[in-house]
Amino acid sequence: MGLLTDMQRSSLARVLEARAQRSAAELRAMARDTPPPLPLRRAAAGFDLIAELKLRSPAVGNLASQTTDPLARLDSYARGGAAMISVLTEPERFDGSLEHLAAAAARMRTHEVPVMRKDFLVDPYQVVEARVHGAAGVLLIVRLVDRARLVEMLDCAAELGLFVLLEAFDADDLAVAAGIAAQRGNDRGDVLMGLNCRDLETLAIDFERFERLRAGLPAGWPAVAESGVIEPADAARVAALGYRYALVGTSLMRRADPESAVAELLAAGRAACDGGMSA
């Protein structure tokens, strides 16, 4: 049984539990009363960083011991120049929660840095949950749900003013995403196209996937390199391939000086691109 299958089952159970406590209509009413989401940030330099708050990684274990004050770490990410913050909300394998998301979103408003809910979302209800807890965006995994449900969740995010990071792992995922992109164009909300280079079965990193599959990413959606970016040289490599963002979690959580770590990755990525990339 793979990680994704386990996470899908767990996520479905969480949706059922949440719906039993609060209806979709009630949740929508709560969403309407929340402050408007912060917009996506894209620096003119052509490369940006999504810095992640991750308390546990299935690949390396506990990361919470690396920081005594997670919100102070997020302050450091923002000072280092992170364009947005990703917050894990999955509780079983990543020790995340919606409370972490709400706290991070409130803190990052002082920096005007948007926060994204990263989880194994399977239902539009969870997209609305993200909005209620202050998120400006959500991560959606292409292969986790069927195409119709994925489009429904994309539409829900667009309706709520949330951006989406759409995550693919292989060429088949990218083909599904490309079909959706061709159908939607750029009229239905902000969408970023992510490619994750981690194997979900072995949890191993295949960095060459970023180059091998780069041509399959939809041209109209800014490309995001997920996993595998650890050193400044890695940021330079993905930026040179045309990735507009890199999402970095574990390596930043392990750094004693996260502000410098973010700044170093950004400097390397921006030096490797021409400052004019948009996809």
Look-up of token digits 């994925």: 150
- Binned at pLDDT 50, 70 and 90, residue 278 comes out as very low
Q: Residue 118 to residues 74, 157, 179, 213, 247: CA-CA distances in angstroms?
A: 15, 14, 23, 23, 11
Task: Give the side-chain half-sphere CA count within 13 A for 103.
Answer: 15
Tell me: the pLDDT tens digits for 60-90? 555 555 666 889 999 999 999 999 999 999 9
Q: Say if residues 9 and 3 touch (Cβ distance below 8 Å).
A: no
Tell me: the pLDDT tens digits for 178-201? 999 998 866 667 999 999 998 877
User: Distance (Å, rounded) from C-alpha 152 to C-alpha 4?
Assistant: 20
Tell me: the pLDDT tens digits for 246-265? 999 888 888 889 999 999 99
User: Over the chain, what is the mean pLDDT?
Assistant: 91
- Domain residue limits, the chain: 3-35+48-272
pLDDT of 24 over the 90 cut: yes
- Binned at pLDDT 50, 70 and 90, residue 55 comes out as confident
Longest dimension (CA), the chain: 51
User: What's the CATH number for 3-35+48-272?
Assistant: 3.20.20.70
